């Protein structure tokens, strides 16, 4: 899937990037499901506003806040 960087595609492209991230890989199944529920809520409520870059920036903030909520610390997070 090679989508253009339009405001309408921001959530799709961001989700694709996150699904390939090392932080996502370290999440539990339940944490992944909760993350996707957050994205679904954002899509349903149409609360994400602005152009592609503004939406991308907002999604980064939301993801960072989510990671903090599940205990993210640094690059050694959940290392064995």
The ranges assigned to domains in the chain are 7-17+29-69
pLDDT recorded at residue 11: 96
- Helices then strands, counting H and E runs in the chain, come out as 4, 0
Confidence of residue 1 (pLDDT cuts 50, 70, 90): low
Helices (H), 1-80: 10-19, 22-26, 29-45, 52-69
Please, how many CA atoms are within 13 Å of residue 27, restricted to the half-sphere of its CB? Answer: 21
pLDDT of 32: 98
pTM (2 d.p.):
0.90
Q: Residue 45: its pLDDT value, please?
A: 95
Residue 65 has pLDDT above 70, yes or no: yes
pLDDT for 36 equals: 97
Q: Residue 66 pLDDT > 90, yes or no? A: yes
Per-residue CA distances from 79 to 36, 68, 75 (Å): 23, 16, 9
């Amino acid at each position: 899937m090679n989508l253009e960087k339009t405001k309408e595609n921001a959530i799709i492209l961001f989700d694709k990037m996150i699904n390939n991230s090392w932080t996502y890989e370290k999440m539990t199944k339940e944490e992944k499901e909760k993350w996707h529920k957050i994205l679904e809520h954002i899509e349903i409520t149409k609360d994400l506003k602005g152009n592609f870059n503004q939406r991308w920036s907002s999604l980064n903030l939301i993801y960072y806040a989510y990671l903090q909520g599940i205990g993210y610390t640094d690059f050694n997070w959940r290392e064995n």
